[in-house]
């Protein structure tokens, strides 16, 4: 082994021995890294595969309802009721959802009881007249696309609720919860 350099000496003979040791340590670490395995914690595997799981903001209905969506005829091209995201959001919120064509509405109302019926404005006005004689009337919610202020006010007077589109899904879900809460309050008060 070499002697340490005296103080004040320029270059030392110890430096080559240190560089060899450092080089050996680097080689050992480099070779060792090839043989190692990645150990992931809980959930880290999902981040590696899909860059994380996308969580949607979930909305759980405070008052789950039985909802009937009335689909207008195919001649009506832009119908918010046809949006599959609406049906999916209603089901995820905890509502029971059925879909019926406007032509088959009377049959659907005869087979089951619904708390809320959601329809486009033209269909919703006709539904109000259809269910007005029923002993347990469902609340009618009309969907109006880009309504004028006068149309919106008139629809609110006639219908149980109005959805003015475009509107975010959480707002629609909250409105349906409010309609259901008002229904429950009326039934408790006996003024149904």
Please name each of the domains of the chain with its CATH number: 66-189 (3.40.50.2300)
How many Å apart are CA 147 and CA 143, to the nearest integer?
Answer: 9
Number of other CB atoms surrounding residue 72 within 10 Å:
20
CA distance 90 to 170: 10
pLDDT at 53: 45
Q: With 0.85 as the threshold, say if the pTM is over it.
A: no
pLDDT band at 36; cut points 50, 70, 90? low
Each residue's pLDDT tens digit, 12-32 = 555 566 677 888 888 888 887
Q: What span, in angstroms and rounded, lies between the C-alpha atoms of 192 and 188?
A: 9
- Per residue in 120-156, pLDDT (tens digit) is 877 887 888 777 766 678 888 888 887 888 888 888 8
- Give the per-residue pLDDT at 66: 92
- Residue 23 preceded by cis peptide, ω within 30: no
Query: Look-up: residue for tokens 């009881």?
Result: 113
- Paired with 143 in beta bridges are 120, 163
């Amino acid at each position: 082994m070499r002697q340490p350099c005296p103080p004040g000496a320029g270059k030392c003979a110890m430096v080559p021995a240190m560089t060899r040791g450092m080089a050996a340590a680097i080689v050992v670490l480099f070779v060792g890294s090839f043989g190692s395995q990645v150990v992931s914690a809980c959930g880290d595997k999902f981040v590696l595969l899909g860059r994380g799981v996308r969580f949607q903001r979930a909305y759980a209905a405070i008052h789950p309802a039985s909802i009937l969506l009335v689909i207008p005829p195919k001649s009506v091209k832009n119908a918010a009721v046809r949006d599959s995201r609406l049906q999916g959001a209603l089901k995820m919120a905890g509502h029971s959802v059925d879909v019926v064509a406007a032509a088959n509405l009377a049959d659907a109302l005869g087979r089951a009881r619904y708390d809320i019926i959601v329809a486009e404005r033209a269909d919703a006005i006709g539904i109000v007249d259809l269910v007005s004689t029923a002993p347990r009337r469902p609340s009618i919610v009309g969907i109006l696309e880009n309504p004028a202020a006068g149309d919106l006010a008139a629809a609110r007077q006639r219908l149980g609720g109005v959805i003015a589109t475009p509107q975010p899904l959480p707002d629609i879900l909250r409105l349906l919860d409010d309609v259901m809460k008002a229904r429950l309050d009326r039934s408790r008060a006996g003024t149904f």
